[in-house]
Structure 1
Amino acid sequence: MELDDFKSAWQSLDHRLQLDNALKLHELRERKLDKTRGSLRPLFWGQVAQILFAIPFILLAALLWMSRPDPASSIVAGVLVQAYGVLTIIAAGVVLGQIGHIDYSQPVLVIQKQLLRARTLYVRSGMVAGLPWWFLWVAIVQTLAALGGVDLLAKAPAFVWSGYGIGIVGLLATWWFHRWARRPERAEFGRKMDDSLSGRSLRKAQAQLDELQRFERD
């Protein structure tokens, strides 16, 4: 075989190998991205459930407004209940929007950044839905009492104020624990806590993207 023929055959083989590797990489990418999409489905439905969970609070407040409450304390309680429902729906909607805007045609690094944004919004959505319960339960009881024509603050002031006081203490304790867990000497504990807050769906999706990125890099 002439040297030129040998070089031509070698180049042809090299081109075929590159094409084969590219096809395998594309196939792997599509497979991993399909798994990433699948991993996010529970997160999607979880946010839908959060929206459905919040609707009754808005309806409860609407019933209160229809009854035309007079005591200011009942009105404030109704505002708190309605605000909770609205903010919880908005928070879930923002997460759903971010999930829908993830562009899987982009490079893996870009998708990872979009997923990280979804994770941040998901954690904040959970805080919006969860933290107010330290004191929201008192506002709900007040609203229910107001629907029955009872001003709970006038009837049982100790119950109402102690409930809100416990709520404030609980929020402060939660804030303190959050800061305590993220000190440098407890970095590993803080990381594990962040992972637990981020949800299993997001962790699985991130793992799929990390594996794909390692393969592309290698």
Structure 2
Amino acid sequence: MKNKIIAWGLAALAGIILALILLIHLNIILPTKDHLNVKFTTSIDDYGDFRGFRGFSNLDVFPEKLLKSAQNIDFYYNDDSSPIFDDSCQVYLKCSYNKSDYQKEIQRLNSIKEQYQEMEQKTWVDNDNFKFPAVVAIYNNNHCYEYALLNENEFSIIYVFLQFIYKEDVVFDNNFLPNNYVNPDKVIDTSTEGQSIYLFPISNGDKHGTFGKWLEVEK
């Protein structure tokens, strides 16, 4: 009887191993590069090309293209997604403008809105949760943040989008993070979860997301 139990156990183990091999071969468990979406650049020439971006955002805070007066530019873009794990994205732009363009950018940031059916949601000003005055589109919602930090003394703006990014993996100065930044491994109380202009309440407590613009561009 003992030998039969051992035999059954070995047979079951062999079956599990064969199943894992098959799943890997089919790229279900460990997808190949063809099944991953990894985009990374720090080149200013690539700015504005967010085709295929998979974050829970339309990156509304970021300007569609760099203004002519923009200088001292620092840019970073990394969108890493797969069929298995949560997508992690990090987009960062820092630049300074002349006074006129700086004021135009502030007006644009304050006028950003997302619409769904008859509902409308706008960016908001936050003077409490950052070390600089901020215009915010997402704050601690599903481990995502999207905002612009304003430095009127230098006429500079820092644009940030983070999704499932650990504090130690942030590429820019941590002083540009929210004062109470939450790492992805911390469980969020959904009853007190932050806001996103891209999420609209619908029936049964669910929410409709208006993000996905850049995926549509890719198609």
Alignment TM class, shorter chain as reference: 0.3 to 0.5
* TM-score (norm. length: structure 2): 0.35
Larger radius of gyration: 1
* TM-score (norm. length: structure 1): 0.35
- Structure with bigger RCO (C-alpha 8 Å, 6+ apart): 1
Q: Which has the higher helix share?
A: 1
